[in-house]
Amino acid sequence: MSETIFSKIIDGDIPSYKIYENDYVYAFLDISQVSKGHTLLIPKKASPNIYETDPETMKHIAEALPIVANAIKKAFNPDGLNIIQNNGEYASQSVFHIHFHLIPRYKEDIDGFGYIWNTNEDKIDDNKKAEIQSLIQAQL
C-alpha cells in the first residue's frame, strides 16, 4: 500500500493532535472538527478499506473505539455520537487508509434537516485544538 497522510501522521512526519495511542491504533483530532471533539481512529497497520482489513486489525480497532468514545463523552457530554467509516471514493472516502470518524453530536447542531455536517477547520485554531485534545486526553 502506498504511503498516505495517515501513515505520515503515525510516523510523526505530519503533526497531529494525538488523543490516544497503543501498539495497534492511533487516534487524533480530525482537522475539520465537524463538531467539538471530532476524532479519527486509525490502525497502525494500514489497509485501504474495510474489505482489505484483516480480523486481527479490526479486533484492535474495536477495542479502542469505546475507549476513545468514552473519553470524548466524559470530556464534552455530547447528546450523541456518530461513528462513521467510509469505503471507496463513491462512499466519500478521501484517505485510503481505513479510518473511523467519532463525531460528537450536540442538540444545537441540528439545523431542521438533521445534523450540520460543515467543517470548521478555519474556525478552530491550533490553540483551541490543543485545548480540545487536552480535555479528551484527561479522561483516558
Give the model's pLDDT for residue 112.
55
Name the pLDDT band for 116 (thresholds 50, 70, 90).
low
What confidence tens digit (pLDDT) does each residue in 69-98 have? 999 999 999 999 999 999 999 999 999 999
Return the closest-CA partner of residue 132 out of 108, 110, 102, 93: 102
93, three cell numbers:
472516502
Alpha helices in the chain (DSSP H): 5-10, 55-76, 126-137
Per annotation, catalytic residue among 38, 60, 99, 101: 99
Average pLDDT, the chain: 92
Catalytic residue at 99? Answer: yes
Residue-level pLDDT at 29? 98
Structural domains present in the chain: 5-137 (3.30.428.10)
Helices 55-76 and 126-137: angle between axes, nearest 10 degrees: 100
pTM beyond 0.85: the answer is yes
